[in-house]
Structure 1
């Protein structure tokens, strides 16, 4: 079946091809009546007309393509960010190229001969920020996800209320009587993890003891770090606050190896609410992060910037999901 053209739409609607171009290019206001514009759109839809985006983009000097830079595809959180971004992009005739940094957080090879020629803008996680230097796309409009809002490098920022997430964790554990805490912190040098550490320290310092141990974002690395930190000693922590569900899974494995029961002897919390959170036993108390909304807001922010408008939006809310990995502090601890 032959694909209908703008000329076919013009003939069927009884208008000129120029009128069809104005209406379907969304430039009809003040030049074509609303009634005619609606008639043209209805006719185009009835014929199954789809614009030739490649030809239009060549005329406009735009590829209508955004690059989403993430640390790794193996992390479920970033897969969901992509889903949200792609949904909004598709609704606006944009495509999203997903580019994971090969080394997780370090510089990567440029996948384009010229990023500026191939893209209209970039959306990047702060955890993969160094990759931007290798891409050479610093002249492109940039939206940063989960990054320092005071930075002037990006045209817009989309952030989660991370400090509030830590507040919810701390208050939950304090209400359960915990006063000795271990913060199993991510070893990744990223703004989002610095915010979590600062918030937790500020919240607990008047009320409880806090020790911080850093670990790579792997179950094995987290298990090793937690096992060493939980070795029998005076004043062993009764609660572990983890920067990520993956770290929390490692902490749970460490507890089992040491013969500690969760949550009777030790409470464990995570961050993200990945599928992993309900796969472990007991299921994990964690802070749910709306990953798809992050992607949706990231793409919306980029579209706003490309339209020449400022982007101003509050941090996306997060909330604590309480499950069985947390409970009252034990009456006596070593």
Structure 2
């Protein structure tokens, strides 16, 4: 005998439980209290279970005017940082009955093709990194409830912004190196037009100018290890050697390591190196990297909490997320100058 593969409907459940379809909708939508008796509600639940009935949530959500789907817009997933952001955001989304869709915007490739025929119809809101802000235009995400990550709170497209305290992290690095006696710095800056990287550059320059006798040079690099190696190699060949290289992230620091070793310089005996992110890479290189720990999962959680607040008409929590310097073997006092 052929197996009946017809999907059961709410009418089937109503017939099996001996109630109306309206009662089935109330019970399975958890709105039955005060309108349907407890024995009737239990009878409906049992009938739905026995028939293997599952409500069409997509159709129900569209009738209600929402899909309970959030879009997370990030750069290409080339480091575990944005994977951590996704993990944290997805955790909070799931706790509140939302799904989270990831939309990467690879640098040099352009935003991915819009996976939605109409973002306004398919999404309830968007969380976007400022490093992938161009992708918002492609999906018209800036016309939806929007929370921006790592974005200027005074000029953000979003209804709310969530930031890590990158300025304080940069000051912690500068103070650590100054405390070791360093006065000559090379800033290996990410060649990315993003507010968060401008904050790093501005904060480092402001902190160092308060100390007499310090010098600061800047060289830029795409966020790739080999590009960073080339940038540091050219910077050290074309000018005086610094005693410390301050890198905008850990991948750039790994590239700096390669450049210094090929130039016959030792870390940290001849030159100190710092990163920012505290990726797994930071403890895979030798010596282990002094860097600033950013809690990516907490960042994602805070972003999702902020969007949920916006959707509920509430004011999101204020204040940047604290970051912490992790001192390892890549920094030491500078060598004596000849």
- TM-score interval (norm. to shorter): 0.7 to 0.9
1:171 aligns to what? 175
Counterpart for residue 138 of structure 1: 142
CA–CA separation in structure 2 for the residues paired with 1:193 and 1:321: 20
Distance 1:206 1:152, change over 3 A: closer
Q: Secondary structure at the match of 2:234?
A: helix
Q: Does 1:151 align with 2:155?
A: yes
Indicate whether 1:252 and 2:253 are aligned.
Answer: no
Residue 228 of structure 1, CA deviation: 1.3
Give how far 1:172 is off: 0.6
Contact between 1:72 and 1:104, CA under 8 Å: does it hold in 2? no
Cα 1:163–1:105 shift into 2, 3 Å: farther
Q: How many residues align?
A: 326
CA contact (8 A) 2:142 2:158 kept: no
Partner of 1:91: 95
Q: 1:150-187 CA deviation, whole Å, 9 max, x = no partner?
A: 12520111100000000110111111110101110001
Q: Structure 2 CA distance, aligned partners of 1:275 and 1:221?
A: 20
Give the deviation of 1:231 after TM superposition: 2.5
Aligned residue number for residue 227 of structure 2: 221
**What is the distance in 2 between the residues matched to 1:4 and 1:170?**
65
Cα gap change, 1:58/1:237 in structure 2, threshold over 3 Å: closer, same or farther?
same
Partner of 1:281: 286
More displaced stretch, 50-59 vs 16-25:
16-25
Q: 1:51 to 1:264 in 2, by over 3 A?
A: farther
Following superposition, the deviation at residue 23 of structure 1 comes to: 7.9
Indicate the residue corresponding to 2:246 in structure 1: 241
Per-residue deviation, residues 204-239 of structure 1 (Å, max 9, x unmatched):
1122211111111010111111111122854x2000
Distance, in Å, in 1 between the alignment partners of 2:170 and 2:32 is 50
Shift in alpha-carbon separation, 1:317–1:21, aligned structure 2, 3 A: farther
- Residue 307 of structure 1 and its aligned partner are, at CA, apart by 1.1
Give 2:106's aligned residue.
102
8 Å contact from structure 1 (residues 288, 319) kept in 2? yes
**Preserved CA contact (<8 Å) 1:80 1:291:** yes
TM-score (structure 1 length as normaliser): 0.86
Is the Cα contact below 8 Å between 1:108 and 1:135 reproduced in 2? no
* Alignment CA distance shift 1:105-1:268 (3 Å): farther
Report how far residue 117 of structure 1 moved.
1.4
Asked whether the 8 Å contact 2:70–2:99 carries over to 1, the reply is yes
Aligned to 1:325: 330
1:27-80 alpha-carbon deviations (Å, 9 max, x no partner): 689x68xxx8xx98xx89xx7998653243133121111111111112211111
Show the counterpart of 1:291.
Answer: 296
2: CA distance, partners of 1:317 / 1:51: 43
Q: Offset of 1:309 from its aligned partner?
A: 1.4
Q: 5+ unaligned residues in a row in structure 1: which ranges?
A: none
> Contact 1:110 / 1:136 at 8 angstroms: preserved in 2?
no
Larger Rg: 2
Going from structure 1 to structure 2, the CA distance change for 1:222 and 1:6 (only over 3 Å counts) comes to same
Using the alignment, how far apart are the partners of 1:233 and 1:103 within structure 2? 30
Q: Please give the secondary structure, in 2, of the residue aligned with 1:138.
A: helix
> Once the 2 structures are TM-superposed, how far is the Cα of residue 4 of structure 1 from its aligned partner?
11
Match of 2:215 in 1: 209
Q: Provide the secondary structure at the position in 1 that maps to 2:142.
A: coil
Out of 57, 60, 64, the residue aligned to residue 60 of structure 1 is 64
Deviates more, 1:297-306 or 1:255-264: 297-306
1:247-270: CA deviation from partner (whole Å, max 9, x where unpaired): 000001111011111001110000
1:110: Cα distance to partner?
Answer: 2.2
